[in-house]
Amino acid sequence: MTEPHRPAEQPWRRVHPISPFIRSWSVLLIFVYLITSFSVRELQSFIEAVNLSIGQSLLIMLGIVVATLVIAAGVYAISWWFYQFRITTDAVELRAGVIFRQRRYMRLDRLQAVDIVRPFFARIFGLSKLSLHAADGAETTLTLEYVRESEAERLRREILYLASGAQDDPTLDPTSASDDDTSPAFPGTATAVPDYPYADYLAQYVQHNPHGLNQDVEAPNQLRAQQAKTPSRELLTIPFSRVVGAAIVTGLSTGLMTALMGGGVTGFFMWLGARDDGFQAAVPFGVLMLLIFVGIAVFTTLATAFAQVNTNFNFTARTSDSGVRVTSGMLSTSSHTIPPGRIQGIQVTQPLMYRYFGWYRIQVTVAGYGLADPSTTVLPVGTFDDVVMMLSVLAPDPGIEYASDLLYNAMKYTSDDDGFTCVPARARIWQPVAGRRHGYRTTPTLLLIRFGRLRPNLAMIPHERIQQSAVHQTLTDKLSGTASARFITPPGPVRVDLKNQEPAALVQLFFQEAEIAAHARRISDKNQWMAPEELETFEKAAEKARVAGESA
Amino acid sequence: MKHFPDDIEFRPVRAQLKTYRQIYNVLSMVSFVTVFTVAAMIFNAQADPDFWHGLSYIPAAWTLVYDLGVIILTPFQVRVHGWVEQSDDILIRSGAIFRNYEAVPYGRLQFVNVKQGPLQRKFDLADLTITTAGSTATISGLPTKEATRLRDDLCSRGYAKLAGL
């Protein structure tokens, strides 16, 4: 691992021997319970039939238990022996199973995120689960369960290092101990913009995003040298008081919902009973219902609050060469690493109950996580400063000065006082509350879409991350002469639809975004975020395809 | 949408798509309306007829009205449906009343799928579905030859302009 070129043939490795037991301990528990209860009943009739003494029957009992354990241990040993994985230069492979063979092969350049999760039971044994998320949705996650905590950390570093495409450069090896900073002074940033279509837009992009086009295209070697060995930096920690506060607030709102529902049902029964010809048992029944619902409300409040505290306890975010890293958890802990350029969209929201405290939540769309994964939340509860700090790492440079002002205005105000569009007055009837806030705005690097008045929500999508765009008209659009659009990213929590906007401007935005998406590869190439030859291979492939197209 | 530039020449899909869709629509209308009506009649026969039992005909009536609407709209939808291959992306237009324009950059496509059922084969029609990491876009009613040509073209252009995620 220390030599610059890894041998292509890597040995197969195995996980921790105890892991089959941890994977299936609940199943084992049920199994043991069934076996013992069954054999006790069998034994009783057997004892009665054969007249055995207590000692003899106990011995038989013990024999059954031991036999079960031995069989279980044997099965576990076999399952452990055949659960193997290896990490080669360009893929992680996993093979498991004896009768039903399972073979997983995940290319490292498709890697989207790395999670280390420690469920409570595994944590007792000091073990962790390593999940590798690929680009093709939630089903393609490759999980290695379970390895020692230190081993998990080492594997994570190794995989990220290999995925970064930097293995040809020994100075970048995370395992080598050289500390000398050999990076030369960064060459002048005023390099000419390459002659791409849409050049003026790109010029702004380059001007405001010095880590974008210039270095990737012009001077990859300097880029690598400069980025080498950036020390990991802690961004923020959420204080325990805020975690508890947010948990109570969220728990209360969930509980309140339940209570409201209960109140409604109770009221209905009271009303039934209060009528003259009503059925008399309704009032006591209603009271009973009320008590039950209050009980449920208290329970949901406590459960939600505890779950929140458990997940968000000791929440820490850091940044390093291999991306953003978020760790949290009390009973079961987890750590998520998202390499650079894997974030498809960012969303800052302020739930209703957070408004009084001035708290915000950040969610991201990452291709491997999908829609409902809790790890899409990269900041569960934070102040405005925390939001700005996280965004400085998550989002590229917004391309304008005073980005935090933009963010503040976007979250707080309506379009009368900032650069966002809004729903035109003739269509306001379809969005009476949020209409003045629902709109979009573009910066050289980002498309910002804002929703909601009671629960402000700001979605930020880097232009080059938009996969596909559509502009269409719904019934309400037809009636008021407006248009709607969707800027589709991979599935995730970030909202990407625009409704009831001024059609002329929206069509213009549609064409702009389509054009930027068409040249996206030129702007940002992040499959292996440190490999300079990546772009060359692309050029070669393009040339080959062009020649093939001509000869055909 | 009158604000959409009209200097883009969309290539229309095959006119036989109309015939195919109408056959499909009529078949589905007849079968669904029959099923719902029979179900309602059986339901009504189980109990004494009452005024409220007229409500059980709502599914059948709704299906009839909806499918009639679809049958009326289909010619217009087919006339509007079309695509244009631009230098960097493919633009698809659809929808007679609720117009929808969709742009898929070549560099974003993950795979292209051509599908053809037995009835479609009769009319030489094929559906082409383009899948990106986010969603899909479909052109229906292409001639089979054109569909395969477009599939190969899109794939080679997609490879040339590969952008990944």
Nearest to B88 among A503, A518, A538 (CB): A518
Residue with tokens 């629509």: B25
Nearest to A521 among B89, B133, B162 (CB): B162
Please enumerate in sequence order all residues whose Cβ is within 8 A of that of A299, keeping only pairs 6 or more positions apart, or say none.
Answer: none
pLDDT of residue A525: 46
Between chain A and chain B, the number of residue pairs with CB atoms below 8 A apart is 115
CA dist list (Å): A335 to A118, A119, A144, A197, A371: 9, 12, 15, 41, 19
Please enumerate in sequence order all residues whose Cβ is within 8 A of that of B31, keeping only pairs 6 or more positions apart, or say none.
Answer: none
Residue B92 in tokens? 């698809």
Q: Give the residue from chain A lying closest to B88, CA to CA.
A: A518
- Within 10 angstroms of residue A453's Cβ, the number of other Cβ atoms is 15
CA dist list (Å): A338 to A135, A184, A325, A491: 12, 28, 6, 16
Measured CA to CA, the distance from residue A140 to residue A132 in angstroms comes to 9
Measured CA to CA, the distance from residue A228 to residue A215 in angstroms comes to 14
Q: What is the DSSP letter of A8?
A: S
pLDDT in tens, A501-513: 999 999 999 988 8
Higher pLDDT, A96 or A350: A350
pLDDT of residue A109: 77
Please enumerate in sequence order all residues whose Cβ is within 8 A of that of B163, keeping only pairs 6 or more positions apart, or say none.
Answer: A517, A520, A521, B105, B107, B108
Mean per-residue pLDDT over chain B, rounded: 88
pLDDT band at A217 (very low <50, low <70, confident <90, very high): very low
Selection from A86, A84, A89 nearest residue A161 by Cα = A89
pLDDT in tens, A225-254: 444 455 677 888 999 999 999 999 888 888
* Cβ neighbourhood burial of A2 (10 Å; 0-12, 13-18, 19+): exposed
Nearest to B108 among A135, A517, A546 (CB): A517
Mean per-residue pLDDT over chain A, rounded: 77
A474: which chain B residues are within 8 Å (Cβ-Cβ)? 98
- Phi–psi pair at A273, nearest 5 degrees: -75, -30
Which residues does residue A320 pair with via DSSP β-bridges, in sequence order?
A323
Are A32 and A39 spatial neighbours (Cβ–Cβ below 8 Å)?
no
* Cβ neighbourhood burial of B143 (10 Å; 0-12, 13-18, 19+): middle
Q: Which run of H or E residues covers position A129? A: strand A127-134
Selection from A533, A86, A496, A529 nearest residue A337 by Cα = A529
pLDDT at residue A291 tops 70: yes
pLDDT of residue B34: 95
Higher pLDDT, A270 or A409: A409
pLDDT at residue A533 tops 90: no
pLDDT in tens, A452-471: 888 999 999 988 888 889 99
Measured CA to CA, the distance from residue A350 to residue A453 in angstroms comes to 10
Q: What sign does the dihedral B156-B157-B162-B165 (CA atoms) show?
A: negative
Q: Which amino acid, residue A278?
A: G
pLDDT of residue A331: 86
pLDDT of residue A204: 46
Residue A460 in tokens? 């930020």
Residue A54 in tokens? 């207590």
Which residues does residue A117 pair with via DSSP β-bridges, in sequence order?
A129, A334
With pLDDT > 70 as the criterion, what percentage of chain A qualifies?
76
Q: Which residues 83-102 of chain B have a CB within 8 Å of chain A? A: 87-89, 91, 95, 97-102
Residue B3 contacts A where some CB pair is shorter than 8 Å = yes
pLDDT of residue A489: 87
Q: Give the residue from chain B lying closest to A514, CA to CA.
A: B103
Are A323 and A339 spatial neighbours (Cβ–Cβ below 8 Å)?
yes
pLDDT at residue B88 tops 90: no
pLDDT of residue B94: 92
- Phi–psi pair at B155, nearest 5 degrees: -65, -45
Residue with tokens 């291959």: B85
Residue B58 contacts A where some CB pair is shorter than 8 Å = no
Q: A524 vs chain B: nearest CA distance in angstroms?
A: 9
* Residue from A484, A487, A488, A540 whose CB has the most chain B CBs within 10 Å, to mutate: A488
pLDDT of residue B163: 60
Query: Residue A468 and residue B103: Cβ atoms within 8 Å?
Result: yes
B105: which chain A residues are within 8 Å (Cβ-Cβ)? 467-468, 514, 517-518, 520
Are A358 and A374 spatial neighbours (Cβ–Cβ below 8 Å)?
no
Q: Which amino acid, residue A405?
A: D
CA dist list (Å): A31 to A13, A73, A121, A197, A482: 30, 14, 18, 66, 63
Query: Residue B98 and residue A472: Cβ atoms within 8 Å?
Result: yes
pLDDT at residue A551 tops 80: no
A351: left (phi over 0), alpha (psi -120 to 50) or beta: beta
B108: which chain A residues are within 8 Å (Cβ-Cβ)? 467-468, 517, 520
Nearest to A468 among B98, B99, B137 (CB): B137
pLDDT band at A276 (very low <50, low <70, confident <90, very high): low
Q: Which residues 105-124 of chain B have a CB within 8 Å of chain A? A: 105-108
Measured CA to CA, the distance from residue A314 to residue A330 in angstroms comes to 7
Query: Residue A489 and residue B156: Cβ atoms within 8 Å?
Result: no
Residue with tokens 């409040």: A301
Residue A478 in tokens? 């037809």
pLDDT in tens, A61-92: 788 878 888 888 898 888 888 888 888 887 88
Residue A246 in tokens? 């947010």
pLDDT of residue A111: 83
pLDDT at residue A487 tops 70: yes
pLDDT of residue B66: 95
pLDDT band at A296 (very low <50, low <70, confident <90, very high): confident
The sheet carrying A468-472 orders its strands as A497-501, A483-488, A468-472, B100-105, B89-94, B82-85, B11-12
Measured CA to CA, the distance from residue A466 to residue A516 in angstroms comes to 9
pLDDT of residue B44: 82
pLDDT at residue B112 tops 70: yes
B98: which chain A residues are within 8 Å (Cβ-Cβ)? 472-475, 477-478
pTM of the model: 0.76
pLDDT at residue A547 tops 70: no
Please enumerate in sequence order all residues whose Cβ is within 8 A of that of B86, keeping only pairs 6 or more positions apart, or say none.
Answer: none
A542: which chain B residues are within 8 Å (Cβ-Cβ)? 160-161
Residue with tokens 């530039």: B5
Query: Residue B98 and residue A473: Cβ atoms within 8 Å?
Result: yes
Give CA torsion, residues A469, A474, A476, A481, to 10 deg.
70
Residue A38 in tokens? 């069954």
pLDDT band at A208 (very low <50, low <70, confident <90, very high): very low
Measured CA to CA, the distance from residue A223 to residue A171 in angstroms comes to 13
Selection from A117, A381, A357, A362 nearest residue A247 by Cα = A381
Give, to the nearest 10 degrees, the angle between helix A25-50 and helix A54-81: 150
- B93-99: long-range contacts at Cβ-Cβ below 8 A with a sequence spacing of 24 or more? B93/B10, B95/A472, B95/A473, B97/A478, B97/B73, B98/A472, B98/A473, B98/A474, B98/A475, B98/A477, B98/A478, B99/A472, B99/A473, B99/B1, B99/B4
pLDDT in tens, A164-204: 766 554 444 444 433 333 333 333 333 333 333 333 444 44
A514: which chain B residues are within 8 Å (Cβ-Cβ)? 88-89, 91, 103, 105
- Taking the CA atoms of chain A, what radius of gyration do you get in angstroms? 29
B149: which chain A residues are within 8 Å (Cβ-Cβ)? none
pLDDT band at A450 (very low <50, low <70, confident <90, very high): very high
Residue A551 in tokens? 């000869």
With pLDDT > 90 as the criterion, what percentage of chain A qualifies?
13
Lowest mean pLDDT among A35-44, A260-269, B117-126: A35-44
A503: which chain B residues are within 8 Å (Cβ-Cβ)? 1-3
- Give me the DSSP letters along chain B: -TTS-TTS-PEE--THHHHHHHHHHHHHHHHHHHHHHHHHHHHHHTS---GGGGGGGHHHHHHHHHHHHHHHHHHHHHHH-EEEE-SSEEEEEE-SSS-EEEEEEGGGEEEEEEE--HHHHHTT-EEEEEEESS-EEEEEEE-HHHHHHHHHHHHHHHHHT----
* Residue from A468, A506, A522 whose CB has the most chain B CBs within 10 Å, to mutate: A468
Measured CA to CA, the distance from residue A413 to residue B60 in angstroms comes to 50
- Give me the DSSP letters along A250-277: HHHHHHHHHHHHHHHHHHHHHHHHHSTT
pLDDT of residue B149: 92
Nearest to A468 among B5, B98, B135 (CB): B135
Measured CA to CA, the distance from residue A323 to residue A319 in angstroms comes to 6
pLDDT of residue A214: 35
pLDDT of residue A277: 65
* Residue from B3, B94, B99 whose CB has the most chain A CBs within 10 Å, to mutate: B3
A507: which chain B residues are within 8 Å (Cβ-Cβ)? 1, 3-5
Helix (H, G, I), strand (E, B) or coil at A104: strand
Query: Residue A521 and residue B102: Cβ atoms within 8 Å?
Result: no
Q: B69 vs chain A: nearest CA distance in angstroms?
A: 16
ipTM of the complex, rounded to two decimals:
0.85
pLDDT band at B33 (very low <50, low <70, confident <90, very high): very high
- Within 10 angstroms of residue B35's Cβ, the number of other Cβ atoms is 13
pLDDT of residue A227: 44
